[in-house]
Amino acid sequence: MAPEPKRNGLSPLKKLMNTKMPLNSSNHLVGLSRPVGRCIAKTKVGALLLSAAAMIAPLAASAQSATTWGPATTISADSDVYTNGNPLYAYAGGITAGTTNVFGVSFTAGTGYAAWGNVAFTSGFSGSSATAFGPAAAPFNGLTNTYQTILRGGAYGGVVVGTVTLKGLTPSHDYAVQIWVNDTRANSHTEVTSGNAVTLTYNNYGSLGGVGQYSVGTFTASSTNQAFTLTPSAAGSVQLNAISVRDEGAPVRTWVGTGGTLWGTASDWSPAVVPFPGDSVVFNAASTANLATMLDAAYTVGALTLSNAPAAVSVGPDTFTLAVNSGINLLGTSDRLTINDALVLSASQTWTNNGILSISNTISSTSPVTLTLAGTGVVSLSSPATYTNNTVINGGTLALTGAGTLAGTNITMAGGAVLDVSAASPTFALSGHVLSNSSGGAVINGTTDSTSGPISMQYDLDLIHI
């Protein structure tokens, strides 16, 4: 049987020394809670509260978004481990070296009480043990050996608030954080608090060999760090056995337009949050109002997508730029999008377009990129595109009208793709770059100035109409 870990400060063990309670009968428990106003909902002796305003909620100085915690769930099997999204990091206090894999998630040794890799215990934690919380008794010993390993140890403190800070995050990404608390020594049950609280127990059975609980919280990172606090009740002690953080990617913001036309109005979006840099933006059947949208600042989006929007959508004109990281997509044949603001390609990307995409302002890039066009629709450019490197037309039509040019890129066309320069003014010129086809059947409509750059056709010339 593992001994009771020594704890700094006014620990429950010191308070109970004169009761002659066996050292293996520690009854501290753990829980998750949110306060109502400034008051924490009452729990039984031994509860640890994880709260959303003073506890889980953003620390005042950091202006971070809140973490929303799911229900307390009793530990039962490897499948408890949350696997959505991409693994960022996972640590466990019961691992002394190397890694332990549970349900496909690799947990790294969490040693000490100052930090476990990218998880910092920035206050309140004062000790650690690799074995104290997992005596070999049922039902705990019915878990797999690997699951027992990550639960048998942990970091702990006294009757003080413990602060846990997650590091290495990408701002604007959605994250899931799963925490476990477990002490298989005899403990009493905890009481679930009221309000938005979630309470976890160290030992949900209240007897030797009982198991604790876990909870999964979600948040959108507003910086590279996210902090939450663990607050024990009067006779409890702060503790964390294991933690896993997973990146669920850039969130999607769907335009609903109920607040007006400005992108900076939260009520125009579902969920009601103005897009963070890197968020993907969607217009779909829920986008029922104010589709002639306007930017109120420069925005960077992941992808901009129309999926059977109920009417034509436009962005601008205004004085701001729209940067796109991963593409513009018009999925429905009836989708219509006009971008009247300056467009910046942040990286190489594919535009899948089955509708009509009209870009009336410039397209630029901060470094050489490849823009690939796919789908069956029409992309129309009526202003100079100054991005450099390559344009690949794998499907549909790229139409250059008016002042629309592609002077800075080589152009490659697949079979069936169309480059329409019939409405370009002046005559379309390659300006020293290469126009080529990757398969037969590519079509050029209109007149080109072939003296300005080479036309290198790899397939039958009679399929190209100049």
- Quick: pLDDT tens for 351-394: 999 999 999 999 999 999 999 999 999 999 999 999 999 999 99
Q: Which residue from 357, 360, 438 is spatially nearest to 396, judged by alpha carbons?
A: 357
Sequence-ordered alpha helix ranges (H) in 59-173: 145-151
Residue 300 pLDDT > 50 = yes
pLDDT value at position 415?
83
Q: Which residue from 282, 281, 287 is spatially nearest to 300, judged by alpha carbons?
A: 281
pLDDT value at position 462?
32
Residues in Cβ contact with 39 at an 8 Å cutoff, skipping those fewer than 6 apart: none
- Give 46-82 pLDDT, tens digit per residue: 344 443 322 333 333 346 778 888 888 999 999 999 9
pLDDT value at position 145?
96
SS3 of residue 207 by DSSP: coil
Which pLDDT band, with edges at 50, 70 and 90, does 94 fall under?
A: very high
Average per-residue pLDDT in the chain?
80
Residue 404 pLDDT > 60 = yes
**Report for 24-38, 393-407, 420-434: range of highest mean pLDDT:** 393-407
30 and 181 in contact (C-beta within 8 Å)? yes
Residues in Cβ contact with 298 at an 8 Å cutoff, skipping those fewer than 6 apart: 320, 321, 322, 323
Place of tokens 């329409």: 420
Question: What is the helix (H) or strand (E) element at residue 13, kind and residue range?
Answer: helix 12-15
Residue 142 pLDDT > 80 = yes
Coarse DSSP helix, strand, coil percentages of the chain, rounded to the nearest 5 percent: 5, 40, 55
Sign of CA dihedral 113, 173, 168, 55: negative
Of 93 and 273, the one with more pLDDT: 93
151 and 132 in contact (C-beta within 8 Å)? no
**Report for 46-55, 169-178, 311-320: range of highest mean pLDDT:** 311-320
pLDDT value at position 91?
98
**Report for 34-43, 64-73, 263-272: range of highest mean pLDDT:** 263-272
SS3 of residue 439 by DSSP: coil
Q: Which residue from 90, 403, 443 is spatially nearest to 242, judged by alpha carbons?
A: 90
317 and 340 in contact (C-beta within 8 Å)? yes
Residues 33 and 30: their CA atoms lie apart, in Å, by 10
Whole-angstrom CA distances from 68 to 174, 190, 447 are 12, 21, 60
Place of tokens 């609903």: 256
Residue 25 pLDDT > 90 = no
pLDDT value at position 68?
87
233 and 46 in contact (C-beta within 8 Å)? yes
198 and 57 in contact (C-beta within 8 Å)? no
Dihedral pair phi/psi, residue 148, rounded to 5°? -60, -40
| DSSP-assigned beta bridge partners for residue 231 | 49
Average pLDDT for 246-258: 91
**Percent of the chain surpassing pLDDT 90:** 55
- Give 434-462 pLDDT, tens digit per residue: 776 666 566 776 655 554 444 444 444 33
Residues in Cβ contact with 288 at an 8 Å cutoff, skipping those fewer than 6 apart: 256, 257, 310
DSSP 73: E
pLDDT value at position 14?
32
Question: What is the helix (H) or strand (E) element at residue 15, kind and residue range?
Answer: helix 12-15
Place of tokens 């997992």: 134
Cα–Cα–Cα angle for 119, 123, 129, rounded to 5 degrees: 65
Residues 409 and 390: their CA atoms lie apart, in Å, by 5
Residue 4 pLDDT > 50 = no
SS3 of residue 408 by DSSP: coil
| DSSP-assigned beta bridge partners for residue 176 | 218, 246
Burial label, 207 (beta-carbon count in 10 A; 0-12, 13-18, 19+):
middle
Of 430 and 60, the one with more pLDDT: 430
- Quick check: pTM over 0.85? no
- Give 188-219 pLDDT, tens digit per residue: 534 233 235 678 888 888 889 999 999 998 88
291 and 316 in contact (C-beta within 8 Å)? no
User: Position 222: which residue type?
Assistant: S
Residues in Cβ contact with 416 at an 8 Å cutoff, skipping those fewer than 6 apart: 395, 441, 442, 443
Residue 427 pLDDT > 50 = yes
SS3 of residue 200 by DSSP: strand
Q: First and final CA of the chain: distance in angstroms?
A: 86
Which pLDDT band, with edges at 50, 70 and 90, does 16 fall under?
A: very low
Place of tokens 């080529």: 436
